[in-house]
Chain A
Amino acid sequence: MEVEVLCFFPFLRKSSDYIKEIGVSLDDLIYSAAFERARDRGCERVISAIKTGEVSSHHVLAKDVDMEILSYPFARILVSCIGDTHLARRYARAEAKTAYKILSASIADETLLHALAEDLGVTVLCGGTSHTSCDGVVGAAKLDFGVRMYRIHFTDYLRLASELRGSKWRLVNRMLHEGFVMVSGNDLLQLFHEAFYDRVRENLPIEVPGDICDAVRKYTDEIRQVLSVNTREDRSIACDGISQSAFPPCISYLLKRLMGGEEISHSARFALTSFLLNIGMRTEDIIRLYEKAPDFDAEKTRYQIEHIAGSRGTKYTAPSCRTMRTYGICVRENDELCEKVAHPLGYYALAKEKEKSEKRRNM
């Protein structure tokens, strides 16, 4: 693979081989003035991942190719020194998404596809059947990439599709023959997206010696600051008349996990959404909360929230404490208000009342 191409997929084994080849050591990368641009770009990768969810792929000049490749291991060091798994996940998602976009744009390139597959340890064969050949030529016509057929080994398919939603990704709905699953070009792209994510996420955060983390403090401080600004924005629910400090512990906990980009169960989503709707939060604002969820789909989320809000006739009330316990999402820990109520909404009303009277007293 050309180095100009490698720099768009810096997480490949071939990329780290390349770094070894050009003889840049870890010390060089951390301390040498010659690699300051690689360090700056590495820091930019992480910050851009936090802010935009991508690592801002820009046009890389030929002379900058090495710096671009080197910026990736440096970014990993930064993420690891911060040591926050939410950040690691967020960063990996951004790298995967960026590489996915680049691959989608240069998709006609079968050689690239197979080189990627080999590097990622995925067995891909071209042509679904004898009808199609590798370059997608059927008779005299050349097929668009999206409808070209590929075959991927079932063990690779299961590994990569395991996080993908929707019945079309279920193995049972796939054509499986002699160990290979048939996929279209578009499907294959999505599977590569997953493979990119897995590769970036691999071993992240890595263990980094303390002196290296000290040496890169300038960068990690900057990232921490961006992180705190962005997370604070996320964590506050700006809404008139809603007091987040009066939320019961169970709801606060679910919210925190959701904001952290964690996946929460269906029953947890229902509990959270119905609670927020019940206390008067608007659908738009609730959708925004779910944006951080790993499998966010705006349309689906809107539909589900509207459904709970009563678009189909039934307006749902948040589950009671007892039901929350059954769901296994009650987190009561010696909370004295919890002792007094049997419903998260009761807790909220009581806590809000208390807040108000305290405010009055302080005036």
Chain B
Amino acid sequence: MAEALLRSNVMICEGTGCAASQARDVIVALKGEIHRRGLDEEIRVVQTGCRGFCAMGPVVMIYPDGIFYCQIKPEDVPHLVEETLLKGRIVERLAYREPLSHRAIPHYSEIPFYTKQKRIALRNCGMIDPEDIREYIARDGYAALAKVLGEMSPQQVLAEVKASGLRGRGGAGFPTGLKWEFTSRSPGQPKYVVCNADEGDPGAFMDRSIIEGDPHSLLEGMAIAGYAIGARQGFVYCRAEYPLAVKRLHVAIDQARALGLLGENILGSGFSFDLAVKEGAGAFVCGEETALLASIEGRRGEPRPRPPFPAVSGLWGKPTNLNNVKSYAMTPQIILNGADWFAGIGSPQSPGTAIFALTGKVRNTGLVEVPMGITLGEIIYDIGGGIIGDRQFKAVQTGGPLGGCIPPQFLNVKVDFDSLREVGAVMGSGGMIVVDEDTCMVEFAKFFLTFATAESCGKCVPCRAGGKRMLEILSRICAGQGRREDLAAIRAIAEGMEQAALCALGQLTPGPVMAALRYFEREFIAHIEDKRCPAGSCKELAPARCLNACPAGVDVPTYVSLAAEGRFAEALAVHRERNPFAMICGRVCPAFCEQRCRRGDIDAPVGIRAIKRFMADHEAAAPWFPAGPRPARSEKVAVIGSGPAGLTAALRLAQAGFPVTVFEALPVPGGMMAVGIPAYRLPREVLNREIEHIRQAGVQIVCNRALGRDFRLEDLFDREGFKAVIVAIGAHRGLRLGIPGEETTGVVNGTDFLRDVALGRAPSIRGQRVAVIGGGNVAVDAARTAWRLGASEVHIVYRRTRQDMPAYPEEIEAAREEGITFHFLSAPVRVLGPESVTALEIQPQRLSEFDATGRRRPVPVKTGPQTLAVDVVIPAIGQEPDKACVLEAGLETNRDSTLKVGDSLATTRAGVFAAGDAVSGPASVIEAVAQGNRAAREVDLYLSTGTLAKVAIPLETRLPPLTWNMEEHSETPRLLTALSPVAERADSFAEVELPAQEAQIRAECRRCLRCDLEWGQQRRQTPAMSTPDAHAQAL
């Protein structure tokens, strides 16, 4: 400010906005008043341009006091001059007050992303201009250095840093103060301070952000370290791939030098310290300390054995302190606020904060700084906002390419150096990559392995050769050429690398693969033995994500493509090759295909289920005689249970020529399709027509014959001459709640209730109040059924939250529309009676820590239970197979009462196989169909060869040509399913989902992106790696 003689400058805005509101009059009044008071020599009035305060104008700003008055009128001027310019007092009435609309906006501390953060190293990032040293200084920058130089000896600095407990933030977690002390004590001059800003981990950008946003914090920290250690030269080794960071480093160093905060005799203290920047040359291994030092010396970046450690012999053989950017950046705060302050944050063994780069499939990606000891679940869900699209959390990769993945069961693990190590994970430098169910863990591990092997410096054999061989094996597995011995080979190579590699790069390269193997071995086995990629990501194994996601492998792209052209009969035929129940599944399938549809990544998935329903309904009148090959086989096969698993197995066996008889315990066939799914979702005529097709294949269906009650397994073999039996009795026994009062009249289990309604013996509940307990489809089915039977009130009581409900979202929404009341976070504790139900006692819950499935566990709140007055209670919390009849038959079961079967679906009794819910527990129609397909092949193999072996059913697609222009349908929104009006649904079991029109359906088909064509092309272009020699030649 050039006007040093004047006491005050008064600035008035004379922009258009303020001028419109009488700023000119205010200026005139102000000048007049100042003249009247004789203050002309002391106070200058300056007319400025618009400052952007138009809504608050006219505004008056007074320098150097920094007083801001707004909405000044000429009448205010005399008072303003008197009070402020003469007496130096602020006139509150005229001072700026923040508008209420601003206060209503959530403060950063209230934003979930920031609530649990504590920004220490990042405190200035986003707050200061990193290229203006004065802004850093205004926020306590270099005050720590001044304090150290003016008031502390090097020994005191060392003691303070040691007392803080700061551990190296590069990942190894070695106590920083101790490292400084070692370097200080080592004989030799000159000593060096080096900063590792190489940050090579993919997905890690913590160091970059600090250097880009607050470079001086690093410089100050290094200068403090230099003072403590007795060094006068420092190097920042920054990777060249960070040009902005390098630039800001240079600017910062120049500015610090210009002020004398770096260089000779800093602040007159006699301490001299200067910094140089060395850019990395693109080698990940130079993030390892000895390789880094070699690189600074101008040699090739190769690690060397330690000891001697850099603290003793580092750069040019001299004692060198090497720390990460974050470790240095935290030091000034420790000096200013004290070691106790730092030690009080975080966990006792890992004090302070840690910075994480949160990336991947979370909603809030970005940079977070949190106290050590926060749990993984809090980072991913509370700060990260959970998984995008509410998908399933699968794993989080920590520690970069040398770390490992952590699965959901460890969401409650505290994130600090030691707790993570206990579960076999690495904290590393701070990169956190979150993946969901669409990520293949084999491919994920391969990605990191590819990176690490490319970065191997080549000096030692275990890393150079081991990494390469391990990568070959993984590549073969991903390409569908895995072999049984591969996993053992991987483990052997890993052990060799871990024991014998020269540096951390080689030792930890197997880390991600071993972690993936430890927690996701089944995925590896699926790739190797079944040639399947469950996530649908390995293109050689998954022709398209929809097809891959379907448990029965239905060729979705083909039938959708045919349906697009109106060739519904052919489309249906393709569908029936894998799943005979197109009309049924078109109404009730959970549509795993849609959940993985790539169109869903863009706007909304293709309406595959609706397409299926339409094409099946379209051909409903056309009869289907599923004929089998001839000659016929003589071996008779019995199937127990006529649900989707039993009927599908029977159909496939009949198509293979076997005479099949299906025994059904109930009066009607269909299993859960008949007595579980209500008619308003699946009309009886539709179901019966589909079952008729099975009969037309030659399958005998005999009802009212129950295993145990009417016949035993022995009878089937000995008396009736069956050669093989498939037990497909489903899971029809509802689980009990286990609460007092469950025996009271009026408590009806969900599955019993639905069965009674289906069999025409619905209980009379008109006018009564009903509470259904549970959150799955059975619960919602029971609730919507109760409403249709005339219940006066229907409640669904669920112990978790709406997002956790396993039921289909459309079902939940329909239930809401039908007026059903939901009670979330409510656990039932008692049924009140005593003769018949009068009420249900409910204990409210709150969500606490995570359980192994990645959901928060509900626990009771302190306040007591509430009472819900009801007349009927319907528990629907899960189902299990009827163990009694199975044990009687001499078959072994698992703990959850499902049948124990081997890979070939064979039970513990010779000649007896099992399929469906009886094996898997309650699942879906399509999963039962898939098992039915498999069981039929297993029985065929058994009867043909007498052996048991896991028969693989490979995925196939026909790759029909593309017959439409995809561009024309790139913006088409998904077809919405029309539902019958709610008013028409009461008292009626008529179907709720209304049929669509052909033009709509064919347009919906054309939203398909034909991933099968794209991925099929890629498969043809990449030659398979059949032998190691072929691979070597390819390289």
A and B from one assembly? no
Q: Which residues of B contact A (CB under 8 A)?
A: none
Q: Which residues of A contact B (CB under 8 A)?
A: none
